[in-house]
Structure 1
């Protein structure tokens, strides 16, 4: 009997405890803004089904970073080439603390896609420097883009990732500028 009790104690000690339930990682805590922010999101309609994934992901992420969706105004233009003029006019209104551009530039038409993409990016930088309103770009130009469903699906996912990244860059820059402007106003910088 004693031997049975000892064996049973050994057996129960060898039984592994059930694995602990692992809690999901906590939702990241993002800093809040001192003043309300308003963002313009300018999107090209060329390949809308791809580019809209950037907008959708951007809106989700920017809201997680304490900028309400209602404070993001959406604008659609025919193609990426038209984005800089819209960005400039929107920046000049002084209504927006940031402008985000999204578009897909592919081969075709009378312009080479590298020329268009380079022109758009340079023009957006000029808008930002002239107006002091930060402008963010999710205007992408893949080396090769085919209308196949596999390619379209790949770029839809890629644009969703870019939407998250551009929201992060936008929110972090706005926070940084808010701090810097406060320091300048206080005579610290």
Structure 2
């Protein structure tokens, strides 16, 4: 499992403003990712949460950039891209990854990366935080974003 060795994070996100940008493809997987994100933010005490839906994972960076520029303390980006028979998978995964990385580095606003890049539906379902899933990547992405805000504040 890719989650092997993951840290146990306990973070206090009270007073933070977090924007969740989520793709619309693969409803069942996205519902699981969103539920995990909501649980993680609630566990961290974050109450100022805005959720924005975009068509797909390719559109996540532009929404994340707007959120980061609009005063969000952190952004959580959620999406899922499942490999098909064409190079489209590679282009979308690369664009989402590079775009979200650019937003975070350029703005200084942490972006939790909750974009699943899977070979098939079964892998996506196994990471979506649903009943029977082995991992909860929505929870992890939100927790990482909040923990990074806290870490960065220690550097200020």
Question: Fold match, TM over 0.5?
Answer: yes
Structure 2 equivalent of residue 186 of structure 1: none
Structure 2 equivalent of residue 170 of structure 1: 145
Q: Distance in 2 between matches of 1:169 and 1:41?
A: 13
CA contact (8 A) 1:30 1:66 kept: no
Structure 2 equivalent of residue 105 of structure 1: 81
1:135 aligns with 2:111: yes
Q: How does 1:26-65 map to 2 (within 5 A)?
A: 30-33=10-13, 36-65=15-44
Closer/same/farther in 2, CA of residues 76 and 111 from structure 1, 3 Å limit? farther
TM superposition score normalised by structure 1: 0.68
Closer/same/farther in 2, CA of residues 50 and 31 from structure 1, 3 Å limit? closer
Structure 2 equivalent of residue 14 of structure 1: none
Q: Give the SS at the match of 1:102.
A: strand
Where structure 1 has 5 or more consecutive residues not aligned to the other structure, the ranges are 1-27, 146-150, 182-189
What is the aligned-residue RMSD (CA, Å)? 2.3
How far residue 108 of structure 1 moved from its aligned partner, in angstroms, is 4.6
TM superposition score normalised by structure 2: 0.81
Asked which structure has the greater CA Rg, the reply is: 1
Q: Give the SS at the match of 1:74.
A: strand
CA contact (8 A) 1:51 1:156 kept: no
Q: Give the SS at the match of 2:118.
A: coil
Say which of 69, 91, 99 aligns to 1:123: 99
Where structure 2 has 5 or more consecutive residues not aligned to the other structure, the ranges are 1-7, 130-135
The number of residues matched between the two structures is 143
CA contact (8 A) 2:19 2:72 kept: yes
Write 1 or 2 for the structure with the bigger share of strand. Answer: 2
Q: Distance in 1 between matches of 2:127 and 2:10?
A: 24
How far residue 30 of structure 1 moved from its aligned partner, in angstroms, is 3.9
How far residue 42 of structure 1 moved from its aligned partner, in angstroms, is 0.5
Q: Distance in 2 between matches of 1:29 and 1:90?
A: 24
Relative CO higher for 1 or 2, CA cutoff 8 Å, sep ≥ 6? 2
